Chain A
Amino acid sequence: MSSGYFKIAGGTVYDPIHGVDGEVRDIWIRDGQIVEKPSDSNIRPDKTLDASGLVVMPGGVDMHCHIAGPKVNTARKMRPEQKRKAEKVVRTSNTRSGTMGSVPSTFATGYKYAGLGYTTAFDAAIPPLAARHVHEEFEDTPCLDKGFFVLMGNNHFVMESIHRKEPEKLRSFIAWLLGAAKGFTPKVVNPGGVEIWKQLPSGNVHGLDENVAHFDVTPRQIIEQIARAVDALKLPHSVHLHANNLGMPGNWITTLETMKTFGDSRGHLAHIQFHSYGGGEGDENTFNSKVVELVEYVNAHHNLTVDVGQVLFGETTTMTADGPLGYYLSNAFKSKWFSSDTEMESGCGIAPIEYRNTSLVHSLQWAIGLEWYLLAKDPWRVVMSTDHPNGGSFLAYPQIIQLLMDRTYRQDMLKQVHPAVLERSTLADLTREYSLYEICIITRSGPAKILGLTRKGHLGPGADADITIYTPNDDKTKMFELPRAVIKSGVVIVEHGEVREPLTGKLLYVAPEYDTSIESDIAEWFEKYYSIRFRNYPVPLDYLHDREEVACARL
């Protein structure tokens, strides 16, 4: 008789949320979730996966990547030259064909993430006007549970509410907008700067206290007020911030000020690597690392979390809601350039680039990312990311793990980059090596906790049965790039690198409560300025494929 149980037997388990550091244990699964071992010892599992000698971890959680929506899809369209030379994703009897390069097609994205043992991913920057597009692409991106952050840092209603000093209205609007898009948390990208980009040639803001013309607010006010509203709404994740002055020499001062701006509010600083630069404005020759100064502040302030945005050498495609940044990069790299401004909400810039280890700037970017991992005291608050594909592809995660776990490998790599890195960063002096336990934290348990996903990132009863099983290997790249098996919702989706059952995965979204009387105000503003009708804007629940509402009111 079928018991409905699936047992992963005898694996060496890493489950940092429960303090389990490499202990041999069995894991019992039923109905897609991890459960207690049945008390009746007569119960036999329907299926057992012998994991003895293997490493068992929760499925990976990528909390900051770009995998769906208008910007990603435009980048796909824009780079046929890269795909032609890239690995081919061939159709099989149970999988779709696709293309790779720095911006893989949807099905390929799902298969490749799962192939690395990742089972959850969040797209970091979606204009809510394009939410339906994202939901459609997500349904075609298998093997992953997915969610997205909703761009708000240059939203006109947000800026007007802040200008009028109406925090309740701001809070209600944020809740309404998240609900309308079926998103996860507010994303703030270059607050105020994108609006100025729309108003002026090469327009941008350069500091937290510059005035945003027409709206009469400052970047600092935008960050502060949205962060407070997010906390007041008790959203599972904090505000997710792409700070001002990304990529600019000397930007660390803005970054430190930004950290202080959060006060007691929770705040997540995305791709912090790109915001940790010393040096004179516009002067590449003085470019240097300021991780030591910034990490000290993060170490001491438990309300702050970061993901790294590691740079890897090679070709990639940058894509950002930071319109002026896209223009800057396309000019710096003399590359083709896509830019699209979304009415009332956001911007978008895309430019192909190549990170070279012969370049001082790129070598330093590479080193600065590694410094962040190695200098951060609390692995629960620093998350592995490449800001895929901005710093490099998510496919580089195994290589980053090796850089963190293997000091000798790291020192060898350091010899291959621009020599000035030795003087301008502390990387050469860092001897720390990550343990498997710490890797487990920065790739799954930590991001799950930061996102407020109580059923992800751990292997305790009640968790989604998203599990990755690796074959131990001293070569950590090899170990992490080819898991022995990947289990999603209790189903083996990948075995030995081959996709077995490409489940669709579900959408993770929030539905915070708000004062609905605000809707008439929003409608009036909306009909005046938007080019679609208010009633056609919100995405109703029945539009979504498999879904799960993630509860607010986290303590």
Chain B
Amino acid sequence: MATPPITKPIESPATVITDATCTFCGCVCDDIDITVKDNHITDAKRACVLGKSWFYGHAADDRPDCLIEGQPASVAEGVERAARILTEARYPIVYGLSDTTSEAQRVAVAIGDAIAGTVDTTTSVCHGPSGMAFQGVGEVTCTLGEVANRGDLIIFWGGNPAESHPRHFSKYSLMPKGMFVPNGRKDRTAVGVDVRKTKTAKAMDLFFQIKPRSDFEALWTLRALAKSVEVDPEQVKRDTGIELSRWQDLMDRMKAAKFGVILFGMGLTMTRGKHLNSEALLSLARDMNAFTRFVVKPMRGHGNVTGADNVVTWQTGYPFGVNMSRGYPRFNPGEYTTSDTLARGEADAALLVACDPMANFSQPARERLQSIPYIALDPKETPTTRSAAVAFTTATYGINTPGTVYRMDDVPIYLRPALSSTHPTDLEVLSAIHRRVTELKK
């Protein structure tokens, strides 16, 4: 039987991938329904404004898989060149890792070990101080489902989740109707502490606009009040910009809460005091457990920065800033962290995975990076890929590639990719580099 001639292209039907995961921020929402049509994402149901832009903006780039000194090359050539750069260097560094799967992170750390290099992640420029504070005093924390089911006093300190983690309120911390907070938002008191009135402040029941750089003093005031230590009201007002009576009111509420939660951001960790600020906050949360249940949690930014912390730790024993030049891991933030090894002119080659230091590091660090051979893996063209000796265009994790990511509360979540990509994955490129590096080192 003759088939009629096709007069118009057949429209491919749309497919929907349910329970897909958004890796844009540390919330790692895994309830997104993605509609794909003609290999394009046309809808990302339940994604926030950031998530939508993540999904819509990640059609695969029409770029070569590999560029050597800016010229198109095969992946194999790129791998060979990358392996040579890394094995010939005296102080090679591996950096980034927070926006790729933990499977790829594991191989990146293996490369760092094989080349006697230094491994560091973007943690060193965001919540690194929280990690150091944690090593000092510990941390009382929980998974986000506990916040949703039990939290009745939620304090946001030095962060602006309304804009940085848009679904945090609705999915985890403020709105959910939970087991012990059945009325959702009505059962919770929301408190903001920050130096400026951000969009987050508007969603709070109470807001404390503290003086810039006074986080430590504010936290120490609360620690004193928790233990009924007398403090000087004038000094408190002078140091923090807030009346003592308001701090006392907050402490009364904290003690009256059944399950208090403090979620903190880089407004705390990256301002004057740094890890001492984090340590003060972690200590406050610990102190509060003498009166009620209280937990604390850093609001992690990148989709899999928590995975990077975990992977680097389980393979080396330390979370970031790890040097293996002596054949075994050593840890020293400030000495082995990337902004420092670059700015001091120590690093002489780099493997940069899913990060853009050329866009956001200090001038001396960028100048150093510009002057040394480095390899960059990124789905997009960035200032970092533009100056790379070898730049690989890789598939985007979560959109094109499967794998594991760790949410900000260490919960591992698997990815359901929606689109295929013509580009290789980070895992594939890193595995090839690892194989070649191992051969060259033998």
User: With A90-B328, A529-B178 known to touch, is A343 a contact of B143 (CB < 8 Å)?
Assistant: yes
Task: Provide the residues of chain A in CB contact with B291, threshold 8 Å.
Answer: 201
How many angstroms from the CA of A198 to the CA of B142 in the assembled complex? 10
How many angstroms from the CA of A532 to the CA of B172 in the assembled complex? 10
Cβ of B310 under 8 Å from chain A: yes
Identify which of B143, B407, B414 contacts A342 (C-beta below 8 A).
B143
Cβ of B70 under 8 Å from chain A: no
Task: Provide the residues of chain B in CB contact with A93, threshold 8 Å.
Answer: 442
Q: Determine how close the nearest CB of chain A comes to the CB of B115; give it in whole angstroms.
A: 10
Cβ of B305 under 8 Å from chain A: no
Task: Provide the residues of chain A in CB contact with B428, threshold 8 Å.
Answer: none
Task: Provide the residues of chain B in CB contact with A350, threshold 8 Å.
Answer: 138
Instruction: Check A198 against B19 for contact (C-beta < 8 Å).
Output: no
Instruction: Check B113 against A105 for contact (C-beta < 8 Å).
Output: no
Cβ of B118 under 8 Å from chain A: no
User: Among A70, A130, A214, A339, which residue has the most Cβ atoms of chain B within 10 A?
Assistant: A339
Instruction: Check B19 against A107 for contact (C-beta < 8 Å).
Output: no
Number of interface residues of B (CB under 8 A): 70
Cβ of A355 under 8 Å from chain B: no
Task: Provide the residues of chain A in CB contact with B127, threshold 8 Å.
Answer: none
User: Among B113, B291, B313, which residue has the most Cβ atoms of chain A within 10 A?
Assistant: B313
Q: Which residue of B lies closest to A534 (CB)?
A: B19
How many angstroms from the CA of A81 to the CA of B134 in the assembled complex? 13
Identify which of B102, B139, B316, B331 contacts A338 (C-beta below 8 A).
B139
Task: Provide the residues of chain A in CB contact with B406, threshold 8 Å.
Answer: 133
Instruction: Check B315 against A80 for contact (C-beta < 8 Å).
Output: no
Cβ of B395 under 8 Å from chain A: no
Identify which of A78, A96, A131, A342 contacts B134 (C-beta below 8 A).
A78
User: With A98-B328, A198-B293, A336-B136 known to touch, is A130 a contact of B309 (CB < 8 Å)?
Assistant: no
How many angstroms from the CA of A498 to the CA of B146 in the assembled complex? 46
Identify which of A90, A105, A133, A341 contacts B317 (C-beta below 8 A).
A105
Task: Provide the residues of chain B in CB contact with A129, threshold 8 Å.
Answer: 143, 411
Chain A binding surface, main DSSP class? mixed
Instruction: Check B316 against A98 for contact (C-beta < 8 Å).
Output: yes
Chain B binding surface, main DSSP class? mixed
Instruction: Check B328 against A99 for contact (C-beta < 8 Å).
Output: yes
How many angstroms from the CA of A326 to the CA of B202 in the assembled complex? 38
How many angstroms from the CA of A342 to the CA of B259 in the assembled complex? 14
User: With A343-B143, A533-B19 known to touch, is A70 a contact of B410 (CB < 8 Å)?
Assistant: yes
Instruction: Check B314 against A73 for contact (C-beta < 8 Å).
Output: yes
How many angstroms from the CA of A132 to the CA of B316 in the assembled complex? 19
How many angstroms from the CA of A318 to the CA of B293 in the assembled complex? 21
Identify which of A76, A96, A156, A536 contacts B313 (C-beta below 8 A).
A76
Cβ of A330 under 8 Å from chain B: yes
Given contacts A76-B313, A98-B329, A337-B286, 9 further A-B contacts (CB under 8 A): A91-B113, A96-B315, A132-B412, A203-B293, A336-B138, A339-B138, A341-B143, A530-B145, A536-B30
Closest 4 CB pairs of A and B: A343-B145, A99-B317, A531-B145, A336-B138
Q: List 23 A-B contacts (CB under 8 A).
A: A76-B313, A77-B313, A78-B138, A80-B331, A83-B317, A84-B331, A91-B327, A91-B328, A93-B442, A97-B329, A133-B410, A133-B412, A198-B146, A201-B292, A214-B180, A337-B140, A339-B140, A340-B141, A341-B146, A342-B146, A343-B146, A351-B138, A531-B171
